[in-house]
């Protein structure tokens, strides 16, 4: 689909559906969440379910079109794990719903602690790649990566392991048409399935995030 108005969206990207009942799910730790998208003349209604509680339907219709506008907000959540589901209820002449971006706020550590953010490159010894023969240190488009370095694999089942100490972790990488689905597992817990498949190439995208981990050593695979 060619989107004539793609430049109106944050980072020239969005996710869109015209299927009634289609939904997008966002899981996060935090105290508030905000969902942004467009409201246009071919958009219909939508509904949000947050932690199992469904809000009244909202309209995504606007006859002139407005972009990067707030679709849903909740700012009174308790710190912890939450699940937000955005469901398209559009139909007929107004079938569309799109999501531009989501913001959320979370608390890390204690209020009397200073926040320390470390950026760790993929070449650091805290990263291991197995089997080594499955990984390349010269991925395509690496000039667009942070620090112009990265690792990539085309072999199913290959594993990246990152060992760290801290209260939270964020993993960044590219998305695009040539990338694949992946799973992430933290500290031997349940695996979380996700995908790096997108219609257009975008580098330095947040692929996985977790916080509220507690002090000590953690392992992300």
For residue 41, is it within any domain? yes
Residue 94 sits in the same domain as residue 180: no
Domain final residue pick, 73, 105, 137: 105
Fill in the DSSP letter of residue 179.
-
- pLDDT score, position 209: 93
Residue 45 inside a domain? The answer is yes
Q: Tell me, yes or no, whether 110 lies in a domain.
A: no
Contact 34, 68 (CB under 8 A): no
Number of domains in the chain: 2
* pLDDT tens per residue across span 132-191: 999 999 999 999 999 999 999 999 999 999 999 999 999 999 999 999 999 999 999 999
The answer to the question of residue 34 being in a domain is yes
- In a domain, residue 212? The reply is yes
User: Which residues sit opposite 106 in a β-bridge?
Assistant: none
User: Considering the domain boundaries, does residue 111 fall inside one?
Assistant: no
> How would DSSP label each residue in 65-131?
-EEEEEEEEE--PPSEEEEEEEEE--BTTB-BEEE-EEEEE---S-TTSPP------TTSTTEEEES
Residues of the chain with pLDDT under 50: 1-2
Q: What is the number of alpha carbons within 13 Å of residue 135 lying toward its C-beta? A: 16
- Contact between 202 and 13 under an 8 Å Cβ cutoff? The reply is yes
Residue 96 and residue 152 share a domain: no
Q: How far apart are the first and last CA of the chain?
A: 34
Separation between Cα atoms, residue 91 and residue 179, nearest integer Å: 32
Which residue range(s) make up the domain with 149?
Answer: 127-220
Q: Clarify whether residues 101 and 134 are in a common domain.
A: no
Residues 89 and 154 in one domain: no
What integer pLDDT is reported at residue 182 of this predicted model?
98
Looking at the structure, do residues 96 and 137 belong to the same domain, yes or no?
A: no
Note whether 12 and 52 are same-domain residues. Answer: yes
> Does 78 share its domain with 133?
no
CA distances from 112 to 30, 108, 115 (A): 18, 11, 10
Final residue belonging to a domain, choices 37, 72, 105: 105
Q: Is residue 122 a part of any domain in this protein? A: no
Are both 132 and 94 inside the same structural domain?
A: no
Residue 1 counted as domain residue: no
Cβ atoms of 67 and 26 within 8 Å: the answer is: no
> For the domain that residue 201 is a member of, what is the CATH number?
2.60.120.260
| DSSP H or E run through 194 | strand 192-195
- Can you give the pLDDT at residue 2? 43
* 28 lies in the same domain as 94: yes
């Amino acid at each position: 689909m060619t989107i004539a108005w793609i430049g109106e969206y944050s980072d020239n990207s969005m996710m869109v559906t015209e299927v009634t009942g289609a939904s997008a799910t966002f899981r996060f730790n935090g105290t508030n969440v905000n969902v942004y998208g467009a409201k246009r003349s071919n958009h219909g209604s939508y509904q949000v379910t947050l932690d199992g509680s469904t809000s009244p339907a909202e309209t995504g219709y606007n006859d002139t079109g407005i972009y990067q506008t707030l679709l849903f907000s909740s700012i009174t959540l308790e710190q912890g794990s939450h699940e937000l589901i955005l469901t398209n209820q559009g139909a007929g002449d107004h079938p569309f719903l799109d999501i531009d971006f989501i913001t959320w706020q979370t608390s890390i550590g204690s209020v009397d602690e200073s926040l320390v953010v470390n950026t760790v490159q993929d070449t650091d010894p805290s990263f291991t790649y197995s089997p080594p023969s499955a990984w390349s240190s010269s991925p395509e488009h690496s000039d667009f990566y942070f620090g112009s370095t990265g690792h990539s694999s085309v072999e199913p089942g290959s594993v990246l392991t990152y060992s760290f100490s801290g209260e939270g972790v964020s993993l960044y990488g590219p998305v695009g048409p040539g990338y694949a689905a992946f799973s992430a597992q933290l500290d031997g817990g349940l695996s979380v399935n996700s995908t790096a498949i997108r219609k257009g190439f975008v580098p330095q995208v947040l692929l996985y995030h977790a916080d509220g981990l507690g002090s000590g050593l953690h392992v992300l695979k």
